[in-house]
Amino acid sequence: MEIKWNTIYTGDNLPILKELVDNKVLFDLVLTDPPYNIGKDFGNDTDKMSLEDFIEETEKRIELLDGLLSNVGSVVWFCTHRYVGHLQMLMYKRWQYRRLMIWFYKNGMSRQTREPVTEYDPFLWFSKTENYTYNMEDIRVPYRSERVKNPIYKKDTHGNKRAWHPNPDGAKRGDVWEYPTLSGKVFENERTEHPTQKPEDLTIDLIKAFCPKGLDGKYEGNILDPFLGSGTTAVCIEKLNRKYGHRIKWIGIELEAKWSEVSNSRINQERNKQPQIDLF
């Protein structure tokens, strides 16, 4: 197979991942949102497996992804609270655990009556080695308290008064990432028919957090999404490339031709926009 970058491969990702391994392709970030196995309709039965089959099929893909991760590579994998423990155990076998994080949303719709309303999706971060990327300064968030807009004075161990000054770019981000779901009129231009589409704002910040940078501080590296869905990972990479220079390469894999078409439409729409190069 001839490897083409910045391209969607349509089909079962298992043989495609094997081809990538055989071609010795390496990725610095695997960012993906696979089916949660909770019965969603993606045009196939991949979200309707028995638990045993779900674990077996997931482990096959994790094994192949291990052969595709560079030595500085990370995996960021969305899942559901129902199966996150199983996924963690599979990933512990091969990678270094970094953190279980939460995508928190307040505007999700729910028909649940016999259990708490779901307001979050977990996502796992594992790295290939201890030499991983985390761009903390790129994803700071506003301070929650008004009082930290001004210096805070404390005494050090010698009794001297010292001032702590808030960072002008905001606070360090924690492990709960709050973004609304794509519901309502405000997201009608971003939303597709895909049943589990993730927000672009969330995805862009994940790429900014975990994508390596060059010596000049610009994002560069190889990113894989083996469950591309509606194409949000690729669209967000194209947005960042348009702003910072085209130095991130990506490959997406999607089983259903329908969603590949949706993805390509979104990607082409982004590529047709005028460049907005940020010289950093």
pLDDT tens, position by position, 126-165: 999 999 999 999 999 998 877 666 777 888 788 888 877 7
* Whether residue 17 sits in one domain with residue 102: yes
- Tell me what pLDDT residue 152 has: 77
Compute the distance between CA of residue 195 and CA of residue 276 in angstroms, rounded to an integer.
31
Same domain, 247 and 147: no
Indicate the SS3 state at residue 122. Answer: strand
d(CA 220, CA 199): 22
Count of structural domains, the chain: 2
Q: Please tell me whether residues 109 and 202 are part of one structural domain.
A: yes
* Together in a domain, 148 and 129: no
Q: Is residue 32 part of a domain?
A: yes
280 lies in some domain: no
Rounded to two decimals, the pTM is 0.93
| Amino acid (1-letter code) at residue 247 | R
Structure confidence at residue 280 (pLDDT) = 46
CB of 195 closer than 8 Å to CB of 35: no
Q: Are residues 249 and 161 in the same domain?
A: no
Instruction: In whole angstroms, give the CA distance from residue 247 to residue 254.
Output: 23
Instruction: Give the chain's radius of gyration (CA, Å).
Output: 20
CA atoms within 13 A on the CB side of 122: 15
Single residue among 174, 190, 223 that ends a domain in this structure: 174
Task: Clarify whether residues 196 and 170 are in a common domain.
Answer: no
* Interval 173-192: pLDDT, tens: 999 999 999 998 999 999 99
DSSP track, 37-93: SS---SSSSTTS--HHHHHHHHHHHHHHHHTTEEEEEEEEEE--TTTHHHHHHHHHT
Is the residue at 277 inside a domain? no
User: 193 with 151, same domain?
Assistant: no
For residues 46 and 91, membership in a common domain is answered with yes
Give the pLDDT score at 147.
Answer: 63
Residue 120 is part of a domain; what is its CATH number? 3.40.50.150
- The pLDDT score that the predictor gives to residue 15 is 98
Q: Does residue 90 sit in the same domain as residue 39?
A: yes
- CB crowding 247-263: b at 16 or more within 10 Å, else e: ebbbbbbbbbeebbebb
- Give residue 195's domain range: 7-133+177-271
pLDDT value at position 107?
79
Q: Comparing C-alpha atoms, which of 76, 77, 67 is closest to residue 26?
A: 67
Based on the domain organization, do 19 and 114 belong to the same domain?
yes
Residue ranges of the chain whose pLDDT lies below 50: 279-280
Residue 109 has what pLDDT? 67
pLDDT for residue 155: 80
In a domain, 217, yes or no: yes
Q: Quick one: 125 and 74 in the same domain?
A: yes
- How many whole angstroms separate alpha carbon 255 and alpha carbon 229? 8
φ and ψ at residue 4, rounded to 5 degrees: -115, 125
